[in-house]
Amino acid sequence: MALNLTTASESPVIQISTVRHDQFDTWQSDLSPAHATWVAANGVSAGSKQAFALPDADGGIVEYVFLTVDDPGLWDWAYLPGHLPSGTYQLVEGGLRDQDYNNAAIGWGLATYLYSHYRKSELVPPSLIYPTRCDRTLVDATVKNTHLVRNLITTPANDLGPEELAMAAAEVAHEHDAEISVIVGEELLKHNYPAVHAVGRAHDRAPRLIDMRWGNKDARKLTLVGKGVCFDTGGLDLKPASGMELMKKDMGGAAHVLGLAGMIMAAKLPVCLRVLIPAVENSVSANSMRPGDVLETRKGLTIEVGNTDAEGRVILADALHEAASESPEVIIDFATLTGAARVALGTELPALFANNDALADQILKASVQTEDPLWRMPLWPGYQKNIRGKLADLTNSPAGRFGGAITAALFLEHFVNDEIAWAHIDLMAWNLSASPGRPEGGEAMGMRAVFAALNRRFS
């Protein structure tokens, strides 16, 4: 996996000087007369963000200059590599602040990401020599695992089904000497995961429960749960073509917990980590679950199927109950769960639900610091009445169009014990358009924020 970050280069290294707007006048006054004339003639000013080459007398390049805002953040740094040709670059580090070193390297790695699996010819992004004062472990873990999340989500469903998702989890486990087990097909019934089986049984790519463990068994317990619907047709309540177009991304929650686990294990957080991923395809067949069916769950609660396209919460019910059975200190789940969350907050801002104010505050504070936004929404108890089933304990699809993200979170809350600090993140996991550092396609959303919060909590 190419991070486009390097320690050395056999080819010539091009220097990049960073000039903040508040430094512009001083920088300009120190230029040679020829360069001062060139800067003025090309309209370079303190009010713009740009990267440009200062030429020498023969038309070569003396250095590149990155003109940026007074307080550049991660996404300001991510602007830079997209405006440079292929080559190897190095930041002139004088005048940079402590936070700039990590942001520059992480922003570079995220901005130069390419999903090239199906390309016949490979593009060559520019490379950056690691800044000497960056945290290499953090930079590499962040970039590598963001790339992993993007790759998994972007891969078409014909090449990434439940089995391939389990194989990807096994690769993460192997890299960090974690244990992994997978329960497949009819074995799910024997091991009492009936809801996972019910959703995934209609496809010949068998459903499964992926279970990864890492760390000292006596350490504080942390469990991650990720929705792994590798493709969602909607089941018998079939989606229209427009609604099915991006449904390869419906395993985005699973991708996120694998990426987050990778960051946690790379940082060697002192935790007993468990990762649970119910992996299925929600398909159409003679044995598909039907609207009106009543399903058993691992907890013993029954679910009335109001709509077969609300399958994500059904498989998470089994996984969350198993997660809670070991009474970890924290459970966090990621899921591409509801369109209602997108209607409320748009596609770029994941919804955060939590039963514990301290955990929610830790995540929200970290989201601001890491420029990885989340917005807390309420577990409003007044809507509990909406998820009561007519024949069963719960319905997976409340009547009416309102508060859908909230009722989905309330449904999941039934499978987590109150004394466990739990956070649920309902996210898009996809960039509809490109911006600096965030190409169109699969995206890690909230992962860096949650890692930073967990790092502070458990370190």
Q: Identify the active-site residue in 313, 342, 438, 457.
A: 313
| 119 among known catalytic residues | no
CB 179 within 8 A of CB 212: yes
pLDDT reading at 121 higher than 80: no
What span, in angstroms and rounded, lies between the C-alpha atoms of 116 and 337?
A: 28
Strands 50-55, 208-214: pairing kind: unpaired
Helix (H, G, I), strand (E, B) or coil at 199: helix
pLDDT reading at 1 higher than 70: no
pLDDT reading at 120 higher than 80: no
The residue assigned the tokens 């209609």 is 202
What span, in angstroms and rounded, lies between the C-alpha atoms of 383 and 331?
A: 23
- b/e 403-426 (16+ beta carbons within 10 angstroms → b): bbbbbbbbbbbbbbbeebbbbbbb
Alpha helices in 53-120 (DSSP H): 74-79, 98-111
The answer to pTM > 0.95 is yes
Could you give the residue range(s) of every CATH 3.40.220.10 domain in the chain?
5-134
The residue assigned the tokens 């016949």 is 120
Pick from 446, 404, 425: nearest CA to 353: 425
The residue assigned the tokens 């609604």 is 243
What span, in angstroms and rounded, lies between the C-alpha atoms of 30 and 65?
A: 14
CB 291 within 8 A of CB 306: yes
What span, in angstroms and rounded, lies between the C-alpha atoms of 320 and 226?
A: 9
Could you give the residue range(s) of every CATH 3.40.630.10 domain in the chain?
139-458
Tokens at residue 213, please? Answer: 């463990």
5-134: what fold? Leucine Aminopeptidase, subunit E; domain 1 (3.40.220)
Q: How high is the mean pLDDT of the chain? A: 96
Q: Identify the active-site residue in 213, 220, 239, 376.
A: 239
pLDDT, one tens digit per residue, over 335-348 is 999 999 999 999 99
- b/e 94-112 (16+ beta carbons within 10 angstroms → b): eebeeebbbbbbbbbbbbb
- b/e 221-256 (16+ beta carbons within 10 angstroms → b): bbbbbbbbbbbbbbbbbeeeeeeeebbbbbbbbbbb
Nearest-Å Rg of the Cα atoms of the chain is 24
Q: How confident is the model at residue 119 (pLDDT cuts 50, 70, 90)?
A: confident
**Top-level class of domain 139-458:** alpha beta
pLDDT, one tens digit per residue, over 229-280 is 999 999 999 999 999 999 999 999 999 999 999 999 999 999 999 999 999 9
